[in-house]
Amino acid sequence: MDYFKAFNDNYGHLLGDVCLVHIAEIINQVGKRETDLAARFGGEEFVLLIPENEGNEAATVAEVLRQKIENSPFHVDGKTFLVTVSIGVASIQPTHKIDSRQLIEQADSALYQAKHQGRNIVIVHSN
């Protein structure tokens, strides 16, 4: 989530948790294939594993996810909250020798590029 620390500071950790649940529900809607796996990675970061996809399918799914979150406000105590996310995408082919740690590092690098480029965007890691 973009600016999650500021959100927590302004609205409190309980509302921050509501926001994270809101985002997690959307991630689970988008990552809906039986083989997809969504998990909270830490803090306000999530991972969505999309195995057995072709071409830029992961980037397409990430953009759908970004737009869905941006266009899905949540409501608490009569207040409406809009949030955005920055997404880093990394992928491998089964023939490449890369471990899970390297894959996460690539996605994390792309995420930081997205944040540096203004947030609320998807960046695909390039080798």
Q: Torsion angle, CA of 122/124/125/126, rounded to 10 degrees? A: -140
| Cβ contact 88:113 at 8 Å | yes
In 36-101, the DSSP E strands lie at 37-42, 45-49, 74-76, 79-81, 87-89
Residue 70: how many CB atoms within 10 A of its CB?
14
The owner of tokens 């759908």 is: 64
Residues recognised as catalytic: 44
| Cβ contact 72:26 at 8 Å | yes
